[in-house]
Amino acid sequence: MLAPVKNETESPDAANIDFCKTRAMTVATGVGLLGGLIGQGGSFILIPLMTSYVKIPTRIAIGSNPAIVFLSSLSAFIGKATTGQIEWLLAIPIALTVLPTAAVGGYVTRRVPVQWLRKLLAVLIGLAAVRIWSLLLF
């Protein structure tokens, strides 16, 4: 995520993106499996894979990600809800907070240069990894 990308523009043309569909299906299969197993919609895995492995421009990957995560999360949600794995009293207040702030994030991301978006995503992924490893080891 921190490495510069050749020929990446601030406003890529989505109609002219050329990418490997086999790689995209491989990524989708892995992220879908993880979503079902651990309840993670996949953003922290999906965006880096879309930009580096599938070769989708960063803005397109970030913009497409909510739709992809919504659909994969919906499938995981149905599986978790039907098997009684959701604590509704904890989930509802968080969901009600996430909805408006996600809209604000969508507005802000349009005004931030793509290199800053990539750096921010790399830092957030790094912080999440440090947190997970610290919980695991200590």
Domain assignment present for residue 111? The answer is: yes
The answer to whether the predicted template modeling score (pTM) of the entire model surpasses 0.85 is no
Q: Is 4 part of a structural domain of the chain?
A: no
| Domain range for 126 | 19-137
Report CA-CA distances (Å) from 37 to 27, 40, 79.
15, 8, 10
Contact 135, 128 (CB under 8 A): no
Secondary-structure breakdown of the chain: helix, strand, coil percentages, each rounded to the nearest 5: 75, 0, 25
Residue 13 forms part of a structural domain: no
User: Once rounded to an integer, what is the mean pLDDT over residues 115-121?
Assistant: 88
Tell whether the model's pLDDT for residue 2 goes beyond 70.
no
**Residue 110's pLDDT band (boundaries 50, 70, 90)?**
confident
Kindly state whether residue 67 falls inside one of the protein's structural domains: yes
| H or E element in which residue 70 lies | helix 58-82
In a domain, 5, yes or no: no
Q: Which amino acid is at 108?
A: V
Q: Which tens digits make up the pLDDT trace of 61-79?
A: 888 888 888 887 788 788 8
Q: How many domains, the chain?
A: 1
In this structure, is residue 65 part of a structural domain? Answer: yes
Flag whether 1 is in a domain. Answer: no
Domain membership flag for residue 3: no
Residue written as token pair 């969901």 = 95
